[in-house]
Amino acid sequence: MNVIQESAGSAATSERMLRANPLRRLLVRPETGAVAGSIAVWVFFAIVAGDSGFLTLLGVKDYLSVTAELTIQAVPVALLMIGGEFDLSVGSIVGTCGMIIAILSTKYNWNIWASIVAALLFSVLIGVLNGYLVLRTRLPSFIVTLGTAYILLGTTTGLTSLLTGLTQVGGLDQASGYNSAKAIFARLISIGGGAFPVEIIWALALVVLATWLLLRTTFGNWIFGVGGDAQAVRNVGVPVARVKILLFIGTAVCSCLLAIIQAVTFTGADVLRGQGNEFTAIVSAVVGGVLLTGGYGSAIGSMFGALVFGIVEEGIVFAGVDANWYKAFIGVILLLAVLLNSYVRKLAMEARR
Amino acid sequence: MSSQEIVPAVTPAVPLIEVQHVSKYFGSVIALQDVSMSVYAGEVMCLLGDNGAGKSTLIKILSGVHQPSEGRYLVNGKEVHFSSPREALNAGIATVYQDLAMIPLMGISRNFFLGSEPTKGWGPFSRYDAAFADRVTREELAKIGIRLRDAAQPIGTLSGGERQAVAIARAVYFGAKVLILDEPTAALGVKEAGIVLRYIAQARARGLGVIFITHNVHHAYPIGDRFTLLNRGRCSGTFTKFEVSREEVVAMMAGGDELEVLGHELAEFAYTDQIAAAQLAEAAHEFAEEAVEFHEVEKQPDSEQERNT
């Protein structure tokens, strides 16, 4: 037996050594594709639309604020997808929560902060409901949350027109507490002569929080685990149901945050606001390196995924191209990003050779 | 048909875990009947049996997934009733299943500590201690001969045998006294299986009791100290290595009579094969002759045509 062990030792040393290759380690990170994509589209529009305002502070502000709004939903959706689930109700939650705030504060004269708390509590409830339904029925979350999305949209539209006779509610700036809410959610911050909306700070804070959660906490390890192999991590004692329900709460609460920002910024709500966000959030996450089957991805990558969206959406306007081309452009980028990401993952798994 | 209880002279008197005359029924199906086995500290007990012999049922009883319908389960000589795998784990009985419970794209150290993550800091500021996890993982794997430069590389970059070894190292690190290994070499090539067998030997050297489940006698025999044979849900005996040869183990596992019948059948096949081969050769020869004839025939019409034109 000694002989066997000795040979094991020597064979192990030679075979198990990794070649340290910093470039490769950088390449195999999940966010690599999205960062490269962001740079590529930025350079493209800097060339195409550089002299028509894309490079001005106004241009920067435009694509950064689009990016920020996308990021606020893309980051929690990325976390949920890493945890192996989808949430297609995030778009409808924006409409519903915005309407809760607008109706409570304009029709029932609630202080805006009270309406905001009510909307946040409601979003927590929706998150719990989504998570509970998915875990209880064992149906794909894709279908379950599509169901809640339609229920929310339909109920919100129905109730809003029942209460106000319209599907849009304005006049939120007349509500008590509006000014303090505006200072938190919708103020403009001047940096270098340009006025940037505060939602950019919210988005960055969310990215930092999500990254810290994913990489520096036990809970983050569990997120990767439940998405990678739920049965396996259950066997080692990870509370799979709790992790997934918390992730669903995360997507719902962040959607509510976006609803608050938009309601305060536009001083009102529209039942259709947020529709389609469920897909842009998923696309941002996927462009940002999140694996559709779960277990892999990053929050920073998702932010860059959203940045690709933001640059393309605003860049096309600056380039003077018909904005209808925007979706075609996004489709091409999505396909390229997915191809690149799957190649990066292949590299990661072959890192030893 | 109860098993002979043979205690080797070298092992201590009280086994780490022991089952006495356990049976397990699923409805009217008898999965396991009157099986007894034990494992002592510092020995490898091989649980051998063909597919459907009841190996899986027995390890599920040992690991706390199932409760025996009859019989006693003793840990350190005291009777226990586990109601979940977690309870068995807390008692130091770790089971490494074939699928290994690992996330391929996750780092090695994160996989190692999955479900038992080390933290530093307090309350809401408590955070995953990546440095500690990486260091311990590197140390524990170095003990079994896997040297990592980067403990954060995806575990999918390791080979099947190495992953199996990581799973074993993880169980040992988290205080396992008994290791139950479910077919750890089944999906592995010869060299890989050798790596895993080596780690089993190391675990034994550290004083663990190992239950090694396999249907591959060639993997079991070199490493095993004792062999318990299961056959159709019953125990056909426990033997020390001194008592049986490899061939005897094979014979007992499959049922000696059946093997003899199989031997005859194979001889028969070989005989019919010979006949078939002869027939084939004859056919080939005929075909070759025909081909030559055809070739000649084909040439003739050509020359006829030439004449006609």
Q: Which of A15-24, A256-265, B186-195, B214-223 has the lowest mean pLDDT?
A: A15-24
Nearest to B148 among A16, A25, A217 (CB): A16
Residue numbers in A near B102 (CB within 8 A): 229, 232
Q: How many beta-carbon contacts under 8 Å exist across A and B?
A: 104
Which two tokens mark A78?
Answer: 């990325």
Give the separation between CA B215 and CA B196, rounded to whole angstroms: 15
Number of other residues whose CB lies within 10 A of the CB of residue A205 = 11
Mean pLDDT of chain A: 88
> To probe the interface with A, which of B103, B110, B195, B199 has the most A CB atoms within 10 Å?
B103
**Interface ipTM > 0.95:** no
pLDDT band, residue A306 (cuts 50/70/90): very high
**pLDDT tens for each residue of A171-194:** 999 999 999 999 999 999 988 878
Give the separation between CA A147 and CA A137, rounded to whole angstroms: 13
Beta bridge partners of A197: A188
**pLDDT tens for each residue of B83-112:** 877 788 888 898 887 766 788 888 899 989
**pLDDT tens for each residue of A44-82:** 999 988 888 888 888 899 999 999 999 999 999 999 999
The reported pLDDT for the residue numbered A353 is 42
Rounded to a whole number of angstroms, the distance from the CA of B118 to the nearest CA of chain A is: 8
Give the separation between CA A49 and CA A45, rounded to whole angstroms: 5
State the amino acid at position A206 in one-letter form. L
The reported pLDDT for the residue numbered B298 is 58
Confidence check: pLDDT of A342 > 70: yes
Beta bridge partners of B235: B230
Confidence check: pLDDT of A19 > 60: no
The reported pLDDT for the residue numbered B206 is 86
Which two tokens mark B97?
Answer: 């299943």
Nearest CA in chain A to B97: A232
Nearest to B128 among A20, A218, A235 (CB): A218
- Residues of A near B (Cβ–Cβ under 8 Å) read 1, 4-5, 8-9, 11-13, 16-18, 20, 25, 212, 215-218, 220-221, 224-225, 228-229, 232-233, 235-238, 291, 295-296, 345, 348-352
Mean pLDDT of chain B: 81
Residue numbers in A near B120 (CB within 8 A): none
Nearest CA in chain B to A234: B115
Higher pLDDT, B175 or A137: A137
The reported pLDDT for the residue numbered A211 is 95
Flag whether the pTM goes above 0.95.
no
- Indicate the pairing of strand B209-214 with strand B44-49: parallel
Closest CA to B237 of B225, B245, B229: B229
Confidence check: pLDDT of A86 > 90: yes
**pLDDT tens for each residue of A150-166:** 999 999 999 999 999 98
Which two tokens mark A221?
Answer: 């390890």
The reported pLDDT for the residue numbered B178 is 92
Residue numbers in B near A237 (CB within 8 A): 86, 115-116
- Indicate the pairing of strand A188-191 with strand B93-96: unpaired
The reported pLDDT for the residue numbered A89 is 96
Tell me the average pLDDT across B206-227: 87
Q: Do B126 and A217 touch (CB under 8 A)?
A: yes
Distances (CA, A) of A110 to A124, A125, A169, A189: 20, 21, 15, 28
The reported pLDDT for the residue numbered A317 is 87
What stretches of A91-180 adopt beta strand conformation (E)? Answer: 168-170
**pLDDT tens for each residue of A235-282:** 777 889 999 999 999 999 999 999 999 999 999 999 999 999 999 999
The reported pLDDT for the residue numbered B2 is 43
Q: Does B218 touch chain A (CB under 8 A)?
A: no
Q: For a pLDDT cut of 70, what percent of chain B falls above it? A: 87
The reported pLDDT for the residue numbered B230 is 86
